[in-house]
Amino acid sequence: LAVAFAMSMIFFFRLNIKRYTERRQAEATLRQAHADLEKRIAERTADLTATNASLEEKIGALKTTETILRETRDSAVQAGKLAVLGQMAVGISHELNQPLTAVIASTQAARRLLDDEPLPQATLREALGHASDQARRAADVVARLRRLVDRPSGTEKLQPVPLGEAARATLALLQPEL
């Protein structure tokens, strides 16, 4: 009985030692797995931090590019406005110069008529009427410009222009020279 008890105690101690050793090995394996996991987390965090920094740099570059693009677009719009303004100025000066030239020609013709000995009043009236018509035409150009500025774009409707009236206006412009 004593031998059986001693054998069971030896068996019990060996079993406890084996369990203790297995537990130590399991704890070591668990510590190793934990250390590996911590290492992988640290590597992943470093990768994410580097990726985040890279993204922040790219976002900064995109914002800079966007600002440059916006400034370039604004410059192009301004240049376009100036080009349109220049074209408008040429068109307006042409539109006003035609009737004013006709007024000058008509008044010069009227002056010549006054200098002549026999004064034909009908011709003088015609020359002064033509000068008055051309001055009205210049005033109409200015009025159209005012309407263009006062109204929002797109509200004015296009209307047909009688060809005969345009031809008569052209002849009226050229008549003093003819």
pLDDT in tens, the chain (178 residues): 889 899 999 999 999 999 999 999 999 999 999 999 999 999 999 999 999 999 999 999 999 999 999 999 999 988 888 888 778 777 777 777 777 887 888 787 777 777 766 666 777 777 778 778 878 878 877 777 776 666 555 556 777 878 888 787 777 666 656 6
Q: Are the CB atoms for 102 and 172 separated by under 8 Å? A: yes
Beta strands per DSSP E along 42-152: none
Sequence-distant (≥ 6) Cβ neighbours of residue 134 within 8 angstroms = 99, 100, 102, 103, 106, 172, 173
Tokens 């009226």 sit at which residue? Answer: 172
Q: Are the CB atoms for 165 and 91 separated by under 8 Å? A: no
pLDDT at 95: 76
- The span from the CA of 154 to the CA of 146, in Å, is 15
Sequence-distant (≥ 6) Cβ neighbours of residue 92 within 8 angstroms = 141, 145
Helix axes 121-150, 163-174, angle to 10 degrees: 120
Tokens 């009427």 sit at which residue? Answer: 129
